[in-house]
A and B are shown apart, each in its own frame.
Chain A
Amino acid sequence: MTDTTQKDTAIAAGSGITLGRALPWIIVSLFLLVLPWIFGSNSAITIMNQMMITVVFALSYNMLLGQGGMLSFGHAVYMGVGGFMVMHIMNLIEDYSLPVPMPLLPVFGGLFGLGLATIVGSFSTRRAGTVFAMISLGIGELIAACSIIIVAFFGGEEGIKGDRTYGLPVFGVEFLQQKEVYFVIAGWTVLATLLMYLFSRTPVGRMANAVRDNPERAEFLGYSARWVRFYSFCAAGFFAGVAGGLFAINYEILTEQNLNTVQSGVILLIAFLGGVGFFFGPIIGAVVFTLLQSVLSLQSEIWQLYVGALFVATVMFFPGGLAGVLMMHVPAWRLGKLGSLVVPYIKTVIPAMIGILGLAALMELVFHARHAAAGEDEITLFWTTFDGFSVLPWALASIACVGGIWIARATAPGLRAAWHRANTPDRRPAA
């Protein structure tokens, strides 16, 4: 039974914050501080802001999916509603000249997300699995429909706009520039990430894992699976709301698109791409996806096809996501044999990349041939412009595709053998 006397003394003796544990957070913070000086252009700052907002959103989503085993199809609702709330507060600040500093606003987004999650969670977290997923989908559709019906709050189809510069200046900064907003978002991203990480280390965070793995067993350990889910759900709603607040500050506009089911699907894709099994997985997913979205979409009209293919490939071949692929290398690294994998990787991965790029080039050529306006024969691919109807590019792309994949297939057994060797400890000579 409860052993209170023993507990009190032991907690007092608990280990404190060590440098080793704080170091990754300090490094990331410093990195985010210098980043605007490395990539200073406005478009780069815009991409980085978008990236960080997505990181917070994806991590909050993973509190449900990865940590709590709840597959939600409506998580964008909490981000969107938090964002709308912040936008309204921003407009109130403007209308009544309220002395509220702008960087504080995401708190209100979070609280509103928390409030909505408390209401929805009170009935949706009774069951996990299909029931939870269906309720989340239903609520997602419901709120998305409301956004067109309740015009006063959601602004109808045009959404609502605001101006972030009317807040109380912080040390003379009025947040006119993207760069100034960058630091607000970076600060919130680090804080929210840290809080979400710490949440996963608390009793209720640990039990979220237990309930995900085996809700029935958790019940026989004294925990109601439903309440454990509920607390995770509320926390996830809070951080989604924070992400929404950051979005409102960054873009100064919110529309129905920010909370509809498409957006909810995208965040599921991002979390899965990064890897739901690891805390940092969704961070990788958010960074990679935002890069693909912003860079690839400039290069190709069919970029969503590539993202879709990447997603399918991840689910099929790397269910642990990108984080899982990274963590796969830890055993080899511990054995000090990671170096032995470099050459086999080059032999297989580079031809495979060439093959995939060749395939992509073929798809671009087909797309161009089918959809280009009459007389527009020029196509720009891989930073070169050429006639899309001549034989040479088709032949080159086909050769790259077939040849690259053929070489990759030929060298794959070598890579597999090297992988096996790198993960087997050396036999020590008899002492």
Chain B
Amino acid sequence: MSTPALELAGLRKSFGRTEIIRGVDLKIAKGERHAVIGPNGAGKSTLFNLITGRFPPTSGTVRLHGHDLTGLAPFEINRMGLSRSFQITNIFPKMTVFENVRCSLLWSHGYRYSFWNMVSRSRDLTEGADRILEQINLTARRDLPAGVLSYAEQRALEIGITIAGGADVIMLDEPTAGMSHSETDYIVDLIRTVTQDKTLVMVEHDMGVVFGLADTISVLVYGEIIASGTPEAVRGDPKVQEAYLGAALEAEH
């Protein structure tokens, strides 16, 4: 068996005395589409932030293609082939849509901190950015400031930025949050096409999206993974039903 794309071992995170992530072990194989679901406050976004280096874990390790990520900054993790989107739209609002995508291509095209290349002179960058704009269906918006796009378009742009660098592990944090049905369908199709042959890890609330996209599902409740497996297996798991039912009952009180 080959090394998993992403491997979490004994991952824990406390904020003060509150333990948010309480020992997560998870293996995600190459090419897998993995969804992390769970009730509000289960620690899904925290888990994402631990994996991508936004917060340091209290204990435990994260391995990307077998390499330990402990102590690495987000930009170093990104350079190793992991890219993420955010729950709250996180783009460059004052720059044009095209510029947003072009910036996300720079590092992977080997430009680093160069101040002797003119970006507009690289046809490779321009074409690459235009190709991604076409993929995310924003060619018509190319020269607008990203901040004026509609919400769904900004989410699409963020997915574009996330995949542009060519990372092979893509992490999406609630990509369809706050969207209408038609917008959700559009984003789901988009995610499906742009993450072909890549490892996808996503946090999602919309069960339609989860069951439509994911090969495997993990259920996170109070910082622990209580079930992990195929959609059918997870759906039938009594622990999952209890957790979701419990959360629903709590919400009613």
Contacts and interface: CB of A to CB of B under 8 A. Distances in A.
Given A214-B91, A220-B78, A206 B109 contact: no
A201 B120 contact: yes
Contacts of A214: 90-93
B160 to A, nearest CB: 12
A192 interface: no
Contact of B103 (A199, A221, A225): A221
B102 interface: yes
B236 interface: no
Interface string A229-272: 00100010000000000000000000000000000000000000
B92 A6 contact: no
A133 to B, nearest CB: 20
Interface in B73-108: 73-75, 78-79, 81, 83-84, 86, 90-95, 99, 102-104, 106-108
A235 B122 contact: no
A11 B115 contact: no
B155 to A, nearest CB: 14
Interface stretch (B24-32, B161-169, B207-215): B161-169
Interface residues on B, range: 35 or more
A222 B123 contact: no
B74 A219 contact: yes
A210 B103 contact: yes
B contact patch SS: loop
B110 interface: yes
A204 B99 contact: no
A126 interface: no
Contact of B115 (A1, A205, A213): A205
A contact patch SS: helix
A198 interface: yes
A203 B114 contact: yes
Contacts of B73: 219, 224
Contacts of B103: 206-207, 209-210, 218, 221
Interface string B144-171: 0000000000000000011001101000
A2 B109 contact: yes
B81 A203 contact: no
Contacts of A4: 110
Contacts of B111: 203
A202 B123 contact: no
A227 interface: yes
Top 4 A-B residue pairs of the complex, sorted by shortest distance between their CB atoms: A10-B124, A222-B107, A14-B121, A203-B111
Given A214-B91, A222-B75, 19 more contacts: A1-B81, A2-B110, A3-B109, A4-B110, A6-B124, A10-B123, A201-B118, A203-B119, A209-B92, A213-B92, A213-B95, A214-B90, A216-B90, A217-B91, A220-B52, A220-B78, A221-B165, A222-B106, A222-B107
11 contacts: A7-B122, A10-B122, A10-B125, A203-B106, A203-B113, A213-B94, A214-B93, A216-B74, A217-B90, A219-B73, A220-B83
